[in-house]
């Protein structure tokens, strides 16, 4: 695989000829709706097929996978043109293997609202390790706000994508409640009820782990928050469920601001099995034009996290 940066005067036909791959494949691999609309500086993924298969009458995706020794998941990944759908037609060309050894393994997670576009989700799922339906809220008595997550979990399971349960203090108005977090983090009996409900949901829905996302936590609740994550880990880990905690994008331990002061990287890092750095939304819908996740900003957060 190569990453090609579009130069002045380039066109897709010429790029395809230069690399010796079909123009249609470059279009599919890069989701290009119009081959004539390239932008200087744009990056294109160029992949080199090593083994292909021409679909015969009577073939199904399952039979091709079995015959070629590939999983359905890998067959979908090798052929974005399928868009996660099992439909084949005679004469269609499928890529079974690409040149070059596989790259490093990465874990990929994606949040999804229950109302996500189904075709978008279908074609994305084969590339995800985890799918995280968004979100289970918390009530003041420790009960959970229900979520229509079963269709998403089922779609993921069909292609081998596991599901993570998402627990947050997001209210119906769309804001994270620091008052609700304060209530939960300082009432151990309430925590017991909440943890019991989380465990029941994990087991009945078939989730593979828990992602906790409490934002705008009061500064005085930083240590109680870490203690709560530790209690979750102690209850859930013996049953095979990892606990992940989402962290605001800090660049120093004493960074001011309500978004940051309630998240102690050291304490939460010690309490959780994994952490998720929320290195995004510098650019957003109502802000000035800029990248959602500028590389210098992301790097600064990662470098602090590594300390």
Q: Give yes or no for residue 102 having a pLDDT over 80.
A: no
CATH 3.10.350.10 domain range(s) in the chain: 1-47, 51-103
| Dihedral class, residue 226 (left if φ above 0, else alpha if ψ from -120 to 50, else beta) | alpha
Mean pLDDT (whole number) for 119-148 = 94
Q: Give yes or no for residue 173 having a pLDDT over 90.
A: no
The H helix count followed by the E strand count for the chain is: 12, 12
Tokens of residue 269, six digits: 């890092």
pLDDT of residue 40: 94
pLDDT tens digit sequence for 10-43? 999 999 999 999 898 899 889 898 888 899 999 9
For residues 20 and 122, give the distance between their C-alpha atoms in angstroms, rounded to a whole number: 30
CATH 3.20.20.80 domain range(s) in the chain: 109-305
> Using only C-alpha atoms, what is the Rg of the chain?
23
Mean pLDDT (whole number) for 231-256 = 96
User: Under CATH, which architecture does the 109-305 domain have?
Assistant: Alpha-Beta Barrel (3.20)
Could you give the maximum distance between any two Cα atoms of the chain, in Å?
Answer: 67
Integer CA distances (angstroms), 254 to 164, 258, 262, 305, in order: 31, 11, 10, 13
pLDDT of residue 221: 97
Positions annotated as catalytic residues are 215
Q: What CATH number labels 1-47? A: 3.10.350.10
User: Under CATH, which architecture does the 51-103 domain have?
Assistant: Roll (3.10)
Find out whether 194 and 183 touch, Cβ atoms under 8 Å: no
Name the average pLDDT for the chain: 94
For residues 31 and 24, give the distance between their C-alpha atoms in angstroms, rounded to a whole number: 10
Q: Give yes or no for residue 186 having a pLDDT over 80.
A: yes
pLDDT tens digit sequence for 67-80? 999 999 999 999 98
Residue 100 has phi, psi (to 5 degrees) of 90, 155
Closest CA to 218 of 261, 180, 187: 261
């Amino acid at each position: 695989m190569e990453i090609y940066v579009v130069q002045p005067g380039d066109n897709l036909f010429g790029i395809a000829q230069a690399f010796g791959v079909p123009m249609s494949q470059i279009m599919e691999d890069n989701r290009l709706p119009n081959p004539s609309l390239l932008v200087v500086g744009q990056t294109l993924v160029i992949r080199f097929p090593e083994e292909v298969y021409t679909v015969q009458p009577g073939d199904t995706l399952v039979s091709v996978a079995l015959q070629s020794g590939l999983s359905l998941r890998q067959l979908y990944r090798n052929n974005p043109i399928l868009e996660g759908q099992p439909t084949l037609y005679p004469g269609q060309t499928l890529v079974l293997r690409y040149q070059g050894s596989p790259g490093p393994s990465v874990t990929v997670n994606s949040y999804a609202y229950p109302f996500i576009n189904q075709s978008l989700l279908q074609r994305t799922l084969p590339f995800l390790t985890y799918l995280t339906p968004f979100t289970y809220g918390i009530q003041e008595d420790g009960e959970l706000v229900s979520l229509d997550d079963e269709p998403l979990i089922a779609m993921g399971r069909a292609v081998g994508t596991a599901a993570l349960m998402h627990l947050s203090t997001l209210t119906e108005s769309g804001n994270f409640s620091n008052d609700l977090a304060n209530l939960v983090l300082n009432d151990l009996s309430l925590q017991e009820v909440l943890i019991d409900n989380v465990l029941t949901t994990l087991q009945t829905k078939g989730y593979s782990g828990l992602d906790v996302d409490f934002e705008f936590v009061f500064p005085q609740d930083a240590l109680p928050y870490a203690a709560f994550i530790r209690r979750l880990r102690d209850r859930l880990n013996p049953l095979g469920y990892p606990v992940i905690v989402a962290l605001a994008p800090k660049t120093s331990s004493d960074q001011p601001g309500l978004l940051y002061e309630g998240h102690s990287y050291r304490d939460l890092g010690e309490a959780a099995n994994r952490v998720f750095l929320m290195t995004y939304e510098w650019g957003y819908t109502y802000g000035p034009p800029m990248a959602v996740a500028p590389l210098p900003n992301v790097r600064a957060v990662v470098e602090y996290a590594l300390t």
